[in-house]
Structure 1
Amino acid sequence: MLLAHPAVLDDLIDRYETLRLLDPEDPEVRRRTADVSYTLCVATGTRDVDAALIAARLRLPGARPEDDSVLA
């Protein structure tokens, strides 16, 4: 499996977290959130955004995985 560069993952996490703070009723926010969620899943080889966020954070410099069973 190809692995995304940590800088890409960090950017995706930041974009996702920023979008989550915006109005979820706004169609543009919903579309952009769906796009970032999909990209996070593809970049981490996961199927849902929560697992993708965990996997992405584990790949960032300085991450200290205590439980990586979600990736197994």
Structure 2
Amino acid sequence: VANGTVPASFSVDYGQVGLNAGKIAAEILNGKSPADIPPSAPTYETHAPMISKSAAAAFGIEIPASFDDCGCIVE
């Protein structure tokens, strides 16, 4: 999407994944055993949309105004 190859995606938000990793690191630094921390996997909530304005235009897709403030549109 960022390169304009496809008009949109719904993929893992790596900022959120990093935040989750930081929380786990804090638990370990506060003395919790890593063996006591359950594994985690990305969930729906850790995903985010990304829309390419240029690719959408090339495909003839109009981006709805409801996405104007999503912070997910790239040129």
TM bin (shorter chain): under 0.3
**TM-score between the two structures when normalised by the length of structure 1:** 0.26
- Per residue, is there more strand in 1 or in 2? 2
**TM-score between the two structures when normalised by the length of structure 2:** 0.25
- Give the greater-gyration-radius structure (CA): 2
